[in-house]
Amino acid sequence: MSFYKLSSITALISVLLSVTLMGIPELLFYLFNIEASDATYFMGRRASILFLGLALVSWQMRNISNSTTQLAVSLSFMVIMFGLAILGSIEFTLGNTGVGIFLAIITELTLGLFYLKIWRENYLHTNPV
């Protein structure tokens, strides 16, 4: 998958999460089996803005052809995606979320692996063996 396409998909997913967390967070609370409270609404609104920022970064960076820049962006998004997948797995194991978290985990692992592929290709291109 190309960096352009992956960045576009990441931007779309991030903006959808942002809009959902700001507008109808109950959908994600239901999906992840999380009890709604003032604290979850508060954190959901904050996460909404973070996802909006990630969407904008992904969208703006999609046309970057510089290998060094793609390397940095790919590494950053790879860490975010794998980190979220690991955290989701831990929270499920601890019983803090329901099986719906696996939709997020699978998506995050998939995106993380695509970013890893792009990072690896760019790394080998900028640092030949």
> How does pLDDT run across 29-81, given as a tens digit for each residue?
999 999 999 999 999 999 999 999 999 999 999 999 888 889 999 999 999 99
- 59: tokens are 């969208």
- 19: tokens are 């809009």
> Model pTM?
0.89
At 64, the amino acid letter reads I
Scanning the structure block, which residue is given the tokens 């109808």?
24
- 107: tokens are 């998506």
Lowest-confidence segment of 17-21, 41-45, 67-71, 106-110 by average pLDDT: 67-71
Please answer whether residues 107 and 101 qualify as being in contact, where contact means their C-beta atoms are separated by less than 8 angstroms: no
Average pLDDT, the chain: 94
Query: What phi, psi does 128 have (nearest 5°)?
Result: -60, 145
